[in-house]
Structure 1
Amino acid sequence: MESKKFYNEDSDAEFLDKLISEGVSFDLILTDPPYNLGKDFGNDSDDLSLDDFLNTNRRRIEKCKDLLKEDGSIVWFAIHHLVGYLQVMMYKTGLEYRRMNIWHYENGFSRTKTAPRTEYEPFLWFSQSDSNWTYNADDVRVPYKSEERLENPVYYTNSDGEKKAWTPNPDGRLRGDVWKFPTLAGKSYEGEKTEHPTQKPEALITELVKAFCPKDDDGNYNGSILDPYAGSGTLGVCCEKLNKNGHDIDWICNEIESKWVEVSEGRVSELRDTLFDE
């Protein structure tokens, strides 16, 4: 199947099965399936009974596991009150738990005064192997909270009783499991935001690609990535931006609604034309 392309098929009905039958496998499956909150994506995929939601996602997870390479990973966005079900399903398929991460944002808004304002969405990270996976820790470092840490070393005594000096990494501290990125709310993001009701920020998705995509000996990202529930195509956009900077990521995105495939193709086409003109 051709990579670096958007497909317009039903992942639940045939697309994932087609990939499995062709023997395709991926280094990373990075996806944001419907949360079952009743959002209008052009179909009823986000408005299922609990039993249907659980059965549908169990089949999705099983098929995605079959599409992972031996050292591949799944990064799966969810919602707080249903993520526990999905986590158990991943355990039961034989995937290996790595971490539950949090996408934290502070520019959301509250729809009610009867509960705390929502400021996060969880995403699960599971791997195919319990001993081998990709996580590029140095690629996703974040700034130190205080610049003072960069000025002087910190001395400590190691297990052999030797005095050692720890000096801060100039690229920043290691990222934790809380990923802070604003939502696409407000005028600042008008150029990026589409009509899709659950679009993720490019900054967040790019950082996830950098964290979990394999690299070649020259330090370029060169893995294969699948998003079977691609929405407005943000994964493809982020991969193409990285590819135009010298990387070589093979990505495949699929979306059941033709409207969003057209939006996705338009975003990537505009990106390619802009970069070509430059």
Structure 2
Amino acid sequence: MIEFNKSYQANCDIFLKDLIKENIKFDLVLTDPPYNLKKDFGNNSDNLTLDEFISVSEERISDLKKLLSKNGSVIWFGIHHFIGFIQTIMYKEGLHYRRMNIWFYENGFSRSKKTLQTQYEPFLWFSENDKKWVYNVDDVRVPYKSKDRLKNPVYYKDSKGNKKKWEPNPNGAMRGDVWQFPTLSGSLYKNERTSHPTQKPESLITEIIKAFCPKNDEGFYEGTILDPFHGSGTLGVCCEKLNNEGHKIKWLGIELEKKWNDIGIQRLSEVNK
């Protein structure tokens, strides 16, 4: 019996098929798979030929589609080297493109003067349904660049020539498709950072959960979320911190390597003390 709110040490390529057999559905798949950049995760998952990378990605995305609820979404982090292949696979699997997003960070760096400094990573948003999906626009608003926007309404004409009044939302502007959050480098993030080579910041993952997780009638997040590449457990940590505020998220993580799964379990234990 598969339990929620738990991180499993397992091979996701096998575990996903077990989830399919149990007819478990997820409202959100939020994941950060190996980018195929030859990083050392303790196995060869990040060191595939292009044909191997495409083949395993096709099977995984096919399985994930079967696990989505009728209004569910996939958020898939990638790298500019290969994100186009992932996007094409998702189209072929019958998922519906919503947006290519950019995680932008100004504290990036470059190991070489022969190329551009690294300052972003893309992540895709595809939905199962082409007509209906979850996006909590007001939960992820951002401050206006100028407070002058709040002083006066703006008048415009709609498509039929009718005069309309637009007034700025007091909670801020709609979030765009560039999400600016710093990486975990430097002493400021030493308490959050683990030894995992591609750990994402909790601030970014929490914001994505707020954007795409369903809510109940009381305004609390109450969806099911899957991360088949759970790494150091950031998805679970973010969900549990939200649950400690009264939300009711059911999440499930899958991680191949015991080392990273143990780190994730330790982080979760600190949250749930």
Partner SS, residue 123 of structure 2: strand
Partner SS, residue 259 of structure 1: helix
What is the aligned partner in structure 2 of residue 190 from structure 1?
190
What is the aligned partner in structure 1 of residue 240 from structure 2?
240
Matched, 1:8 2:9: yes
Q: How far is 1:24 from its partner?
A: 0.6
Alpha-carbon distance between aligned partners in 1 of 2:52 and 2:160, rounded to the nearest angstrom: 58
What is the aligned partner in structure 1 of residue 102 from structure 2?
102
Q: How far is 1:152 from its partner?
A: 2.1
Alpha-carbon distance between aligned partners in 2 of 1:176 and 1:103, rounded to the nearest angstrom: 11
Q: Which amino acid aligns with 1:70?
A: K
Provide TM-score, normalisation by structure 2. Answer: 0.97
Alpha-carbon distance between aligned partners in 2 of 1:121 and 1:156, rounded to the nearest angstrom: 36
Measured against aligned partners, the alpha-carbon deviations of 1:123-169 in whole angstroms (never above 9, x if no partner) come to 11111110111011111111101111112222334456554432211
Alpha-carbon distance between aligned partners in 2 of 1:135 and 1:154, rounded to the nearest angstrom: 26
In structure 2, the CA distance between the partners of 1:62 and 1:159, relative to structure 1 (3 Å rule), is closer
What is the aligned partner in structure 1 of residue 124 from structure 2?
124
The unaligned stretches of length 5 or more in structure 2 are: none
Q: Which amino acid aligns with 2:226?
A: L
Q: How far is 1:111 from its partner?
A: 1.1
Alpha-carbon distance between aligned partners in 2 of 1:160 and 1:124, rounded to the nearest angstrom: 34
Q: Which amino acid aligns with 1:77?
A: F
The unaligned stretches of length 5 or more in structure 1 are: 274-278
What is the aligned partner in structure 2 of residue 218 from structure 1?
218
Matched, 1:57 2:63: no
Q: Which amino acid aligns with 2:109?
A: F
What is the aligned partner in structure 2 of residue 166 from structure 1?
166
Partner SS, residue 242 of structure 1: helix
Q: Identity of paired residues, percent? A: 61
Q: How far is 1:272 from its partner?
A: 1.0
Q: Which amino acid aligns with 1:270?
A: E
Q: How far is 1:87 from its partner?
A: 0.4
Question: How do 1:1-278 and structure 2 match up within 5 A?
Answer: 1-12=2-13, 14-158=14-158, 163-273=163-273
Provide TM-score, normalisation by structure 1. Answer: 0.95
Partner SS, residue 248 of structure 2: coil
How many residues of Structure 1 are paired with residues of Structure 2 in the alignment? Answer: 272
